[in-house]
Structure 1
Amino acid sequence: MISLTQLNGNTFTLNAIYIEQIQSFPDTTITLTTGKKFVVKESEEEVAQLIAAFYRNITLLPISQKREGL
């Protein structure tokens, strides 16, 4: 789940697994696999980073193997 902010300032939590598409119109619009849309304050890049972190947390994406000095 990721936490996002609606344009009116209210925060909500969204299950990132159901996100199909993210677009900037210029407001960031998230479309779910159900067709439902959410417009949020976060940028497209911020939402993508939140999704990647969520996927890593539930181990759908590998944790980066990069380490300083290697």
Structure 2
Amino acid sequence: MIELRRLNNETFILNALMIEQIQSFPDTTITLINGKKVVVKDTEQEVAELIEKFYRKIGLQQSIYKAGEVKNE
């Protein structure tokens, strides 16, 4: 779970495992796997960093690397 900010600065928690895509239009728009879109104040890079931190916390990041993904550093 990651904490994000709506455009009105209200915070909410989003299940990062439900994220399919992140884009900037210029507002950051997150598309979930169910097709729902969420617009947030956080930048695309900030959201990506929060997701990566969450994946590391639950041990998913290491599983992805072991499955053959290239680690970006």
TM-score band, normalised by the shorter chain? 0.7 to 0.9
Give the equivalent residue in structure 2 for 1:32. 32
Provide the rounded CA distance (Å) in 1 between the counterparts of 2:44 and 2:30: 9
**Percent of matched pairs sharing the same residue:** 66
Question: 2-side partners of 1:49 and 1:9: how far apart?
Answer: 19
Q: How many residues in Structure 1 have an aligned counterpart in Structure 2?
A: 62
Structure 2 partner of 1:14: 14
Shift of 1:58: 0.3
1:21-41 CA deviation, whole Å, 9 max, x = no partner?
000000000000000111001
Supply the AA of the counterpart residue of 2:18: Y
Higher-Rg structure is: 1
CA RMSD of aligned residues (A): 0.5
Corresponding residue SS for 1:9: coil
Runs of 4+ in 1 over 3 A off after TM superposition: none
Give the TM-score normalised by structure 1.
0.87
In the alignment, structure 1 segments of 5+ residues that lack a partner are: 63-70
1:45 aligns with 2:45: yes
* Corresponding position of 1:68: none
Structure 2: runs of 5+ lacking an equivalent: 63-73
